[in-house]
Chain A
């Protein structure tokens, strides 16, 4: 005989833990083994609840004089009886229950475009990403070398970075194996490669921005923000494969890690800025472009703006004099 419906035991977030078929009505719910639905909840009475039709044919859940009672969907008010429909939720003890009839409507089926697999899971994608990263690192090493360098000298640093990337992905894979019983090594490698590309692009774009617009003081804040975003994406990506966390949890975890790191970095930066030092910050960057494109100011403007420098220094000196005996 096909069941009439199901009593579902839900977890705190509404996910189904257990589904018990209802073959006939009325049914009894409680901690005792004689019940149709047996709940392993110490706050539930041995015989807590009965669910059955009334004279008009409505489905009613009735509290059987339990200690902790029956509560409705919002879980707050205690009621002696409750009319339930397919999909109604109600609470007994610390347990949340839902009744669904067999004809309970369902959401449409999702179309699976990946064949059940993330594209990152493909070893070909991982191999391509890793090869691309290695090429990028080598290219960068070549373009930043100023010696008459040999191939061996050029690949040494990329190889080191590359080895560290593999170790990093390996550690995450190990964590994944422990948490979700799968290594997901290629996925972690692709995520790490993505982060390297991100930092690379960020570094290059901040250098060029600083070259073109050296007077913009928010470049370092933008850099900090960018690094934070990349870090957040990195953590989000790794958590996706290493844990069973939902999207929202991953998002918050990634954001927290990134904000914490950005905070530490900003504090360190601020501390080093406010500490005394004899170092002059010749942070100018020069790039090989034709001068025509470069926005400039005149000599007069440069000299004129140095008054701001004087004002800052006078304030610093004034402060220093005030603190000295």
Chain B
């Protein structure tokens, strides 16, 4: 289960990908002829579309002001005659986090850079609206009608800073198990194309390029989310860049309040692992997986059940947020004596206790609280670990783990992890989760 890659392009990564890019190029050539035919069938050729709309698409460079060198590259497009440019939040996130050190240059077809200011961001949907003083020759309009599955789409962008490129693909509807609506675009998006438009042959933007999972599986931010942000920023004068970080915090806060508060209520479906009854799939946007480790050479059996949301929020290149995951592991044995079994059990309880990322500028250290707790069905060893976001006050990453106590040859370790949640929600979900772990003797 691979994590989606943002299409954000970073200098350091480029060298590593040069050979990969060459291979990809070959693959794209191999599948090109039938697609060209398809494009011609719809009336306009790819050449026509490129010719007609390419000048509305711009390259966005985030420039480090000290060295005047670009730190990241993405794509954007004009969305109004007044010079509003739509791109991804993650393309300009460096400026949001350290406005003193970066500026944004917009480079249009003429190759002349002009400086842009951020008007608004939507960190949840990964969008940003910028504006330059330069008036565009034209702009792209957003598709407000529903597009049928299978519709041929054209995506424009600057993959790996190789120059403006057009990519063909098909519209495959909105993702079903997603917390945030996303268009499933079957086409090759690559790093650097982030923020670029994906449009119909008539040039109406269906979505904004945002992420890829490789193998032609790509994702777009739906046009209606872009409309919302454009409306919000239509009359905005340029706000100070320093205010955006607080805005990002407010948006994450509001977002977590919306989707976490209803989680793990009494109506949550349950899964049975041995004597344990445990929560599973608390909402449609969770994906759950199960597995069992039964090997002849092992004197115990480990059964696992793992649920996670797929949608993470890009906060900065050093920090993601908004993931909810829980992981049940039941251990049982018919062979090990209780002391041996509990050595294994204690080991599992303490295992894998490291967060994937985070550095000192973004998050504090973890602090943990360990207690023996009596719940309705029995006794638990419970640990709650949490850390706070340094730049986004009031948001926490937390992990809550419990192990059941009392049985001699069976045990359960289950962990709930949250990221980017308010402490109230950490407490709320910890309580609900702890109470949802039930078992019989």
Contact = CB atoms under 8 A, between A and B. Distances in A.
Contacts of B340: 142-146
B367 interface: yes
Contacts of A146: 299-300, 336, 340-341, 343-344, 347
Contacts of A276: 359-360, 365
Interface of A: 142-148, 211-212, 214-215, 276-291, 294-299, 301-303, 305-306, 308-310, 312-314, 316-317, 320-321, 324
Contacts of A289: 405-406
A286 B297 contact: no
A324 B361 CA distance: 8
A294 B367 CA distance: 24
> Interface on chain B toward A: helix, strand, loop, or mixed SS?
mixed
Contact of A313 (B299, B355, B388): B388
Contact of B430 (A294, A295, A303): A303
Nearest to A287: B342
A313 B383 contact: no
B contact residues, range: 35 or more
A317 B368 contact: no
Contacts of B381: 211, 214, 284-286
B427 interface: yes
B366 A288 contact: no
Contacts of A283: 350, 368, 370, 383
Interface in B295-321: 297-300
B367 A288 contact: no
Given A278-B358, A282-B353, A286-B381, 20 more contacts: A143-B339, A146-B341, A148-B335, A211-B381, A276-B360, A280-B366, A281-B368, A282-B351, A284-B401, A286-B405, A286-B411, A291-B406, A309-B369, A310-B386, A313-B367, A313-B387, A314-B388, A316-B367, A320-B361, A324-B361
Nearest to A279: B354
Contact of B367 (A145, A214, A290, A309): A309
Contacts of B431: 299, 303
A143 B342 CA distance: 9
Given A279-B366, A313-B367, A296 B374 contact: yes
Nearest to B337: A143
Contacts, number: 181
B379 A280 contact: no
Contacts of B364: 313, 316-317, 320
Interface in B391-441: 391, 393, 396, 399, 401, 403, 405-406, 408, 411, 423, 426-427, 430-431, 434-435
A288 B371 contact: no
B377 to A, nearest CB: 11
A89 to B, nearest CB: 64
Residue of A288, A301, A321 most packed against chain B (CB within 10 A): A288
Nearest to B402: A284
B357 A278 contact: yes
Contacts of B423: 310
Residue of B338, B354, B373, B384 most packed against chain A (CB within 10 A): B373
